[in-house]
Each structure stands twice: as C-alpha cells, then as structure tokens.
Structure 1
Amino acid sequence: MALTDEAIGRIKGMIVSGEIGPGDRLPNEADLGERLGLSRNSLREAVKALAVIRVLDVRRGDGTYVTSLAPDLLLESLSFVVDFHRDDTVLEFLQVRRILEPAATAMAARRMGHAEVAVLRDLARGPADASVDGLVAADLEFHRQIAAGSGNAVLCSLIDGLSGPTTRARIWRGRTQQGANRRTREQHLAIVDAIANRQPDLARSWAAVHVAGVEEWLRRAL
C-alpha cells in the first residue's frame, strides 16, 4: 500500500505542478514508471485508485487521461461516503448544512437574476398536489437552485451531496410535525424575497433559521 500511495502522490504532483493537465494523456505505463521510478504494479494500482475518484479516465485501447477535474466530478466520491451514513449521523449532516447553506444563500442574493428568482419562487410555493413527498422534492430542488445560484461549483457540489441523508428526516418532519410544511413554505418565500431584493445578510439569516429549525426538530425527535 505504501508504494501505491507513493505512486498516487507522484501522479498527483505531476497534475498539481502543471506537467499534465485536464484532458492530457498520461505517458504509457513503461515510460511513466521509468520517469517516476515506480514499479508497474504500484503504478497500475495508483491509476485504478485515481480512476475511482474520477481524477483519471482509463480508456481501453486508447490510454489514460486526466479528467476535466471539475468540482462536481471530483466530489462524486462524496456521495459514496454519504450513502454509508447511519441514522445517528443525520444531525451532523444538518450541522454542516447549517454552516454552508447560509453562505451560499447570501452569495445567491448577490448574483441571481430575475428569471432564476422566478423559478425559485415557484419552488417555494410548492407543488399543487401538496403531498409531503412532493413538497420535499420541491424543497430539495429549491435548495439545489440556491446552491447553483451562488456561482460556486464546489459549494454547490458539497451542498448537493449533503442533501441526500437529510431527505428522510424532511419527510418524517412533514408527516409528523404540525404546521411544518406551512413554516417551510413561509421561510422559503422569505428567503426568495431577500434574494430578489438583493439583501444577502437577510437571506443568510433566513437560511440559517430554516436549516436550524429542521435540525432542532430532529434533535428533539431523536
């Protein structure tokens, strides 16, 4: 494993230094092994590991390429980790959301256009059928649109990856807490108004209140 870790570090160094960049093809295995002073086995294992986390793209019969290294691509591995969460860690995911989402909402208030805000307002009002599952789906999309509106791809990918584990808690709250869906709608609309009026501090505050409300309810429920 130590030799594989060393090989991973060497390839990473080539990318970080700019020796190879997004879309570039790696030298063939023999040449790369000789250049880096690595055995073919350790190099092969390193390439497999870097392909799993989407840093490299192995194309059979063509070679191995550096991917685009786009944040959403590299952060896909986060969803793999998130999928193994336990119910007792949902609060921790909500705590991270409470840190990230207010910042994203404030950024969105500085840059979202009228058309984007209109879409956000429709989502805030919720679907016509008003079922809990429909409301939660609209809720997830509402938060995703705000994260995208921040203009920060890394932040957007992180928030999107963290949303999954809290979905069940949102549905549970909607079905068991009286007035939860009404409060969610009111808070969503308050967030939209703050974004539409270019009030980042107010948008940040409403987002913090909104996420903290779910977190506090779940803390009591557990």
Structure 2
Amino acid sequence: MSLEPVRRPSLSAEVIGRLRHRIASGDWPVGARIPTESELMEQLQVARGTLREAVRALAHAGLLDVRQGDGTYVRATSELSGAVKRLYGDSGQEHLLEVRQALDVQAARLAAARADDAALDALADILARRAAAWDARDFETWVAADWDFHAGVADAAGNPLLSELYRNLAAPLRASMAAFWDSPGFAGAAPAGHEDLLAALRAHDPSKAASQAGANITETLAWHTDSPA
C-alpha cells in the first residue's frame, strides 16, 4: 500500500503555531488578555473563521480561556500545564503532595550525583532567603523562595524533561507549598527536605538526598492528615 503524499500544513495550524509561540515565549503571560479578534486578524492577515478555529484549538488544549463578552485570556503556557490545571481542579491536596514526593525524590537523587558547586551555592542563597522570610512572616517571599529551591533542585538534576515537567506543575505545586502557612504548628523553616537536603547534595549522597526529599513531603502529608478539616 502506497503512502499518502505529504500535504502542506493547514493555515489554521500555522496560526495555532504563531499564537502558541506568543504564549510560550511569555509575550502573552498567564492571566493576560490577548489582542482582540479584529487585531489578530489584521496582524496575521487571516479570515475570522481561520482565527476562531485556532483559538478554539488552543482553548481545548488548555492554553486559552475564551470568556464571552470579555475577551480571551492566557490560561497556561503549554498543553501540559493546561492539562495539569484541569486535573488539579479535581484533585485533593493529598494527591498533589504524593505527586510532589515522586518528583522531588527523583530530582534529589539525580541532583546529588550531578549538581555542580555553582548550583549548590545558588540553592544555599535561596534557603537563606527562605529562612529570613519565614522569620519576618513575609508570605510572598517565603513562597517564592520555597518554590525556587525545589525547582532549583529539579534543574540541578540535569534532566531537562524532569525539570520541564516540574516547572509545568508550578501553579499547583506553589499552592501546595503555601497551603499551610497560617496553620498552627506548621514549621515553614524546618531543615528537613531543605537545609538537610542541601547537605546531602553537597555530600553527593543520592540515597540520603532522596531520603531527605521524601521525608519533607512525608512529614507534610502526615501533618495534613492529622490537621482538622
């Protein structure tokens, strides 16, 4: 059986590609309203039907949110992060923490073997910022530093796919880190999974690093389970 001839990509596919690029590049950040339909038609030199087909496709993929009478907004920077947001909406905090544990443990294991001194020093600086923010009860700085540390460990793992996956989980993961800020007994400056993890990374001990990363989430899961609803 002969193969069908390769056909040129459709115009709507080209428009989808251009819109996706503007989203992924950050030109249109998450939460921003994209240009109006008439503006995009003029910029891209395409018909209304072609543009609407492209917008529908990106909305179905989770990148755009079409709000009737208001406009179209960026919902996510990639199909993966869009899918994660949809899934997270139906998942509980415990499920998310279990996923975090799997990712954090593997990232720590790999980072212990691969992280260089520059990456480790950068992680130390982040932890200093995190500790200072906790002492000052600076919520925004603490959440940002906590996220930067865990994302930094994922980057130090030297696996681009793992790092990309972790960063596409940014919104729900940051939410899980912030969820317990005001809860009585929550220790947001505890060294387990942070300073202790960094020590294991500096020792280039994959087993201990994995154990520390796992202990951090295990402790949070236990605390979450024991906390009153």
TM-score range, shorter chain: 0.5 to 0.7
Indicate whether 1:148 and 2:151 are aligned.
no
Indicate whether 1:190 and 2:172 are aligned.
no
TM-score after normalising by structure 1: 0.64
Indicate whether 1:214 and 2:220 are aligned.
yes
Aligned mates of 2:152, 2:133 — CA distance in 1? 21
CA contact 2:147–2:177 (8 Å) conserved in 1: no
CA contact 1:97–1:162 (8 Å) conserved in 2: no
* Corresponding position of 1:166: 173
Aligned mates of 1:219, 1:174 — CA distance in 2? 16
Figure out how many residues of one structure are paired with residues of the other and give that number. Answer: 169
Q: Which amino acid aligns with 2:217?
A: V
Question: Aligned match of 1:115 in 113, 118, 126?
Answer: 118
CA contact 2:133–2:141 (8 Å) conserved in 1: yes
What pairs up with 1:7-18 in 2 under 5 angstroms? none
* Corresponding position of 1:76: 78
Q: CA deviation at 1:80?
A: 1.3
CA contact 2:111–2:154 (8 Å) conserved in 1: yes
What's the C-alpha RMSD, in Å, of the aligned pairs?
3.1
SS of residue matched to 2:216: helix
SS of residue matched to 2:180: helix
Question: Aligned match of 2:132 in 128, 139, 145?
Answer: 128
Aligned mates of 1:216, 1:154 — CA distance in 2? 30
* Corresponding position of 1:72: none
Q: Which amino acid aligns with 2:202?
A: A
SS of residue matched to 1:182: coil
Where do 5+ consecutive residues of structure 1 fail to align? 1-9, 11-33, 62-74
- CA change 1:212–1:44 in 2 (3 A) is farther
CA contact 1:53–1:77 (8 Å) conserved in 2: no
- CA change 1:94–1:50 in 2 (3 A) is farther
Where do 5+ consecutive residues of structure 2 fail to align? 22-42, 46-76
Question: Aligned match of 2:99 in 83, 96, 103?
Answer: 96
Q: Which amino acid aligns with 2:142?
A: L
Could you report, residue by residue, the CA deviation over 1:118-170 in whole angstroms, capped at 9, with x for unpaired residues?
A: 11112223253432332221110001111000111110011122232132332
Aligned mates of 1:207, 1:141 — CA distance in 2? 15
CA contact 1:78–1:161 (8 Å) conserved in 2: yes
Structure with the higher fraction of residues in helix conformation: 1
Greater RCO (CA < 8 Å, at least 6 residues apart): 1
Q: CA deviation at 1:93?
A: 2.4
